[in-house]
Amino acid sequence: MNTTATETPIALEGGNPEIASAAPPVPHRWGAAEKECLDAMLEQASLFYWGGPQTQLLTERFQKHYPLKYVMPCSSGTAAIHIAVSVLGIKPGEEVIVPPITDMGTVIGILYQQGVPVFADLGAHTYNLDPADVRRKITSKTRAILAVHLTGNPAPLRELRALADEHGLVLIEDCAQAWGARYDGQPVGTLGHIGCYSLNDFKHIGCGDGGIVATSDERFGPLLQMSGDKAYDRVHGTKTPAFLAPNYRITEPQSAVAAAQMERMTGITRRRHALGMRLSAQIADIPGVQPPEIDAKAISSFWFYLLRLEEGAFSCDRTQFVKALLAEGVVAQAGYIPMPLYQFDVFKNHHFFGGQWPVRDCGLTTMDYRKVSCPNAEATLTSCVYLRIHQGMDEAYIDGTARALRKVARHYHT
Ligand SMILES: *Cc1c(COP(=O)(O)O)cnc(C)c1O
């Protein structure tokens, strides 16, 4: 511990907290725009998505931000990704390369299609797929790379796209945390082959639950609608399924709210990006504190702010460090998800279907999740601190957060 006479005491030890008042709340998310769509919806005879005016409006507004030809609004982000995997026509035992720190929704659809999620490691400070490790994980069975823009920070899309093109793979983007994020001047979800989005209540654009899957690729686009609607072809009005597909339909109430939310996206993301970048600039030189790496070509939506504490840099553990931040008035939490996905019981035990995993039992894969290791992902989860960022926060709160980090880091620095 580094206590000198001149050092300001941390709040945990009787000093003044850097942030005197409670963090500003998330501004109320719904207003006149949502009400207008919902009122219009109540005049409709039907709340069915196909041909529904609200779903049509949602699609048009989505396309203003994401100029993709084929758009299927659906019931969740998980559903969007399942549809994306299913339109590849993946065969049992074929592989999709995924990151190990993400929501379960990223991999659920792969497993339901009898595909095999193959975990590749992350960049140490981007928290996104490391193209070098993705390359090492490519086999003759690989069909796709599924990149997640974790925290809203765009994955290295040019490199991943080049890798996909070089090996004849499909690049799917999981943009669930990244509404409004951009890479190289383009919105995320448009640099890969298929973009997937979530509208669940916790995302910064949402409608309770919902999702969107979209593409301009002629191989996949015409299959999107059927693949989320029991393989019924609404375009041609035929109900004679040629393959197996679940019912992942959205409804008009969800679309009404989501259509209104689309109009809020640019403002919300611009604000979150500005606040996140402001924090990064102010904490960049604090010894032992490692801010996230955001590509100079990227706009992050900062769905949350993840930093890492350098191993051995502090005399306290992460729990104590976070306790000290909380005492300073910072909204912080030690860690994100408890462990990489491959360490969840369902993976370790290969208990996907009735306690079994047919593709493995039938010899279509030799994957053993007990043997998977992604060192950067594991180190990230044991060293990361999760900070809240949202559009209702102000510069004063961000600056207070930076001062608190500096003070706490100095206090505990070895
Ligand atoms: C939220 C989320 C999902 C799943 O979205 P749902 O709408 O909850 O199904 C998938 N991937 C990531 C990265 C997410 O954050």
Rounded CA gap, 133 and 376, in Å?
11
Q: Which atom of ligand 1 is nearest to the CA of 79?
A: 9
CA 360 / ligand 1 centre spacing (Å): 26
For ligand 1, atom 10, the nearest C-alpha belongs to 105
Spatial contact of 296 and 96, defined as CB atoms under 8 Å apart:
no
DSSP 8: P
The answer, yes or no, to whether any atom of ligand 1 lies below 6 A from the CB of 300, is no
DSSP 50: T
Rounded CA gap, 143 and 84, in Å?
12
Exposed, middle or buried, 16 (CB in 10 Å: 0-12/13-18/19+)?
exposed
Of 150, 174, 303, best ligand 1 pocket probe by most atoms within 8 Å of the beta carbon: 174
Q: Which atom of ligand 1 is nearest to the CA of 210?
A: 7
Contacts of 266 (CB under 8 A, 6+ apart): 65, 180
| H/E element, 212 | strand 211-215
Rounded CA gap, 361 and 379, in Å?
32
pLDDT at site 22: 86
pLDDT at site 7: 74
Q: Which amino acid appears at position 35 of this protein?
A: K
Give the residue-averaged pLDDT of 242-252. Answer: 98
Rounded CA gap, 283 and 279, in Å?
6
The answer, yes or no, to whether any atom of ligand 1 lies below 6 A from the CB of 376, is no
The answer, yes or no, to whether any atom of ligand 1 lies below 6 A from the CB of 78, is yes
Tokens of 153: 């920070």
pLDDT at site 5: 46
Domain locations along the chain: 32-263
Quote the crossing angle between the two packed helices 77-87 and 105-112, to the nearest 10°. 40
CA 176 / ligand 1 centre spacing (Å): 5
Q: Say yes or no to pLDDT of 89 above 80.
A: yes
Contacts of 114 (CB under 8 A, 6+ apart): 90, 91, 92, 93, 358, 359, 364
> Is the pTM for the entire model greater than 0.85?
yes
CA 103 / ligand 1 centre spacing (Å): 6
pLDDT at site 18: 96
| Local structure of 22: helix, strand or coil | coil
Tokens of 272: 């979150």
pLDDT at site 141: 98
Rounded CA gap, 38 and 312, in Å?
54
CA 199 / ligand 1 centre spacing (Å): 8
Tens-place pLDDT, residues 299-312: 999 999 999 999 99
Q: Which atom of ligand 1 is nearest to the CA of 148?
A: 13
- In DSSP terms, 214 is beta-bridged to 71, 195
Tens-place pLDDT, residues 353-375: 999 999 999 999 999 999 999 99
Contacts of 35 (CB under 8 A, 6+ apart): none
> Of 347, 314, 321, nearest to 335 (Cα)?
321
Spatial contact of 256 and 41, defined as CB atoms under 8 Å apart:
yes
The answer, yes or no, to whether any atom of ligand 1 lies below 6 A from the CB of 114, is no
Rounded CA gap, 397 and 340, in Å?
31
Rounded CA gap, 20 and 401, in Å?
11
Rounded CA gap, 186 and 231, in Å?
32
Please, which pLDDT band fits residue 52 given cuts at 50, 70 and 90?
very high
Tokens of 135: 């390359």
CA 99 / ligand 1 centre spacing (Å): 13
Q: Which amino acid appears at position 150 of this protein?
A: L
Q: Which atom of ligand 1 is nearest to the CA of 102?
A: 13
Cα 334 off chain centre by: 19
The answer, yes or no, to whether any atom of ligand 1 lies below 6 A from the CB of 328, is no
The answer, yes or no, to whether any atom of ligand 1 lies below 6 A from the CB of 177, is yes
| Local structure of 74: helix, strand or coil | strand
CA 5 / ligand 1 centre spacing (Å): 49
Contacts of 223 (CB under 8 A, 6+ apart): 86, 87
Give the fold, CATH level 3, of 32-263.
Aspartate Aminotransferase; domain 2 (3.40.640)
Tens-place pLDDT, residues 120-142: 999 999 999 999 999 999 999 99
pLDDT at site 81: 98
Tens-place pLDDT, residues 172-225: 999 999 999 999 999 999 999 999 999 999 999 999 999 999 999 999 999 999
| Beta-strand relationship, 182-183 and 170-174 | unpaired
The answer, yes or no, to whether any atom of ligand 1 lies below 6 A from the CB of 187, is no
